[in-house]
C-alpha cells in the first residue's frame, strides 16, 4: 500500500476520500480509455484469484420505485463494499438512475483506507468488465459493435471495447433519439466510426458484438430471436435485478451463457427466465483456462452480466493505487480516535473545553 495511505497511528482516523470532482480529475489525468483498460487488468487479476474472495449475492432492498443494494466482499486482507441504487424513473425527475459510493478497509483492524464516489467508477468498472469478458468470448478480430440503450453507460462501453477488444465502429440505437444524439456527440473525438441507427434491427446488422444496456425495471424484449445470427457475442448488462430482462428467452436457449456468480445471476440476470439447473459457465473459469469460451465461428456467446462485488473491489483497489500517482483526494476525519481507546466519552468532554 502506498506510504500516503499508511498514516502513523495518530492519523489512523484520517481516511482518503475521492469525491466526484476528484474522480473526474483522476479520469481526465489518466484518460478515460486508458483508465478503463487499466481497471480491466485489475478486474481480470481478481477473477484469476476467485477462490480468495468471500462471495455473496448483493443485499438488495426492492421497492416499486427501484432498488438499493449493498455489495460486499473480502480477499482476507482487504474488505470492500459498494452502496448503489437503481431507480429507472429518476431520469424523468431530474435525478441519476444509478448513484453509488464505496469503501475499502483493512481486515486486520477494521479501519477504512478509502472512501470513494462510485457513480462514475461503477460506469468505468462495468465497461471494463464487459470488455475483459469479450476479450475471451467475442469473435476474434471483432470490429463492429451495436449498442442498444444509449444512456449513461453507452460511451464507457464503446471506449472499453475500442481499447480492450479493438472495435473501430459502433452502431447506436435508443428509443429516445436525444440519447443517441448525445452519445454520438460525446464519441465524436473517440477515434470510433459512430453510426446512429433508427431501429434496434439496424443497430445489430453486420455487427460481431451486441451490447444491451437499457434501464427500464421490467421484463423487456430488447433483442428478439430473429435479430441474433450465428457467431454473435452478446454483452447483456441491462438486466440486473429480479423482473428485469432484455433478451427473448429463445436467444438464451441458443447461446452458451457465461456469468459472474451464478447464485446472484440466477436471481437478477437474463437466466432468471430459465430453469435453475440450466448450464452456465463462470467467467473466471474461462479466464483461468479451466473452461472453454468461444470454440467455434458459429457459436453465440452471451455474457449475462449483473455486476458483482469483486469488480467493485477491483475498481476501488485500482483507485487506491492511483492516489499517490494523481494526488486527487482529500483526507476525512472520519473515525473517532481518542488517546485512550477506552475513553471515548472523555474525548468528547474535552472537546467542549476548546
Place of cell 470492500: 80
For residue 11, the SS3 value is helix
For residue 163, the SS3 value is helix
Question: Contact, 180 vs 173, CB < 8 A?
Answer: yes
In the annotation, is 176 catalytic? no
Phi and psi at 48, nearest 5°, equal -75, -10
Q: Give the integer Cα–Cα distance in Å for 32 and 179.
A: 20
- Which of 46, 174, 240, 304 is labelled catalytic? 240
Nearest CA among 229, 270, 284, 276 for reference residue 43: 284
Q: Edge to edge, what strands does the sheet with 193-196 contain?
A: 193-196, 169-173, 144-148, 209-212, 233-236, 301-304, 256-259, 281-282
CA 181 to chain centre: 24
Question: Contact, 18 vs 331, CB < 8 A?
Answer: no
For residue 213, the SS3 value is coil
Phi and psi at 352, nearest 5°, equal -70, -20
For residue 72, the SS3 value is strand
6-10: which pairs have CB atoms within 8 A and are 24 or more residues apart? 10/337
Question: Contact, 103 vs 81, CB < 8 A?
Answer: yes
Q: Give the integer Cα–Cα distance in Å for 226 and 216.
A: 22
Query: Do the strands 14-18 and 330-333 form a parallel or antiparallel pair, or are they unpaired?
Result: antiparallel
- The residues carrying an active-site annotation are 240
Amino acid at each position: 500500500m502506498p506510504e500516503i495511505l499508511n498514516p502513523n497511528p495518530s492519523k489512523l482516523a484520517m481516511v482518503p476520500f475521492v469525491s466526484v470532482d476528484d474522480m473526474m480529475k483522476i479520469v481526465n489525468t489518466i484518460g478515460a480509455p486508458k483508465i478503463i483498460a487499466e481497471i480491466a487488468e485489475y478486474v481480470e487479476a481478481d477473477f484469476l484469484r476467485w477462490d480468495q474472495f468471500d462471495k455473496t449475492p448483493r443485499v438488495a432492498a426492492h421497492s416499486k420505485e427501484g432498488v438499493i443494494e449493498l455489495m460486499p466482499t473480502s480477499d482476507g486482507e482487504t474488505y470492500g463494499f459498494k452502496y448503489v441504487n437503481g431507480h429507472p424513473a429518476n431520469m424523468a425527475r431530474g435525478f441519476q438512475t444509478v448513484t453509488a459510493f464505496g469503501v475499502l478497509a483493512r481486515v486486520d483492524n477494521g479501519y477504512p483506507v478509502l472512501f470513494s464516489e462510485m457513480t462514475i467508477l461503477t460506469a468505468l468498472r462495468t465497461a471494463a468488465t464487459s470488455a475483459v469478458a469479450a476479450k475471451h468470448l467475442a469473435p476474434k478480430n471483432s470490429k463492429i459493435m451495436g449498442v442498444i440503450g444509449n444512456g449513461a453507460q453507452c460511451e464507457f462501453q464503446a471506449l472499453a471495447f475500442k481499447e480492450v477488444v479493438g472495435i473501430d465502429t459502433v452502431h447506436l440505437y435508443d428509443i429516445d433519439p436525444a440519447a443517441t444524439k448525445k452519445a454520438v456527440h460525446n464519441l465524436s473525438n473517440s477515434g470510433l466510426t459512430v453510426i446512429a441507427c433508427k431501429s434496434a434491427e439496424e443497430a445489430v446488422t453486420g455487427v460481431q458484438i451486441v451490447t444491451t444496456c437499457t434501464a427500464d425495471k421490467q421484463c423487456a424484449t430488447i433483442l428478439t430471436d430473429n435479430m441474433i445470427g450465428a457467431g454473435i457475442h452478446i454483452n447483456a448488462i441491462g438486466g440486473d435485478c429480479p423482473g428485469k430482462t432484455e433478451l427473448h428467452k429463445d436467444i438464451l436457449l441458443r447461446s452458451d451463457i457465461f456469468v459472474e456468480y451464478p447464485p446472484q445471476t440466477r436471481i437478477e440476470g437474463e437466466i432468471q427466465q430459465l430453469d435453475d439447473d440450466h448450464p452456465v459457465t463462470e467467467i473466471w473459469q474461462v479466464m483461468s483456462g479451466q473452461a472453454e469460451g468461444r470454440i467455434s465461428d458459429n457459436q453465440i456467446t452471451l455474457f449475462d452480466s449483473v455486476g458483482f462485488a469483486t469488480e467493485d473491489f477491483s475498481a476501488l483497489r485500482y483507485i487506491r493505487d492511483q492516489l499517490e500517482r494523481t494526488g486527487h483526494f482529500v483526507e476525512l476525519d472520519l473515525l473517532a480516535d481518542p488517546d485512550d481507546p477506552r475513553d471515548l466519552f472523555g474525548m468528547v468532554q474535552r472537546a467542549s473545553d476548546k
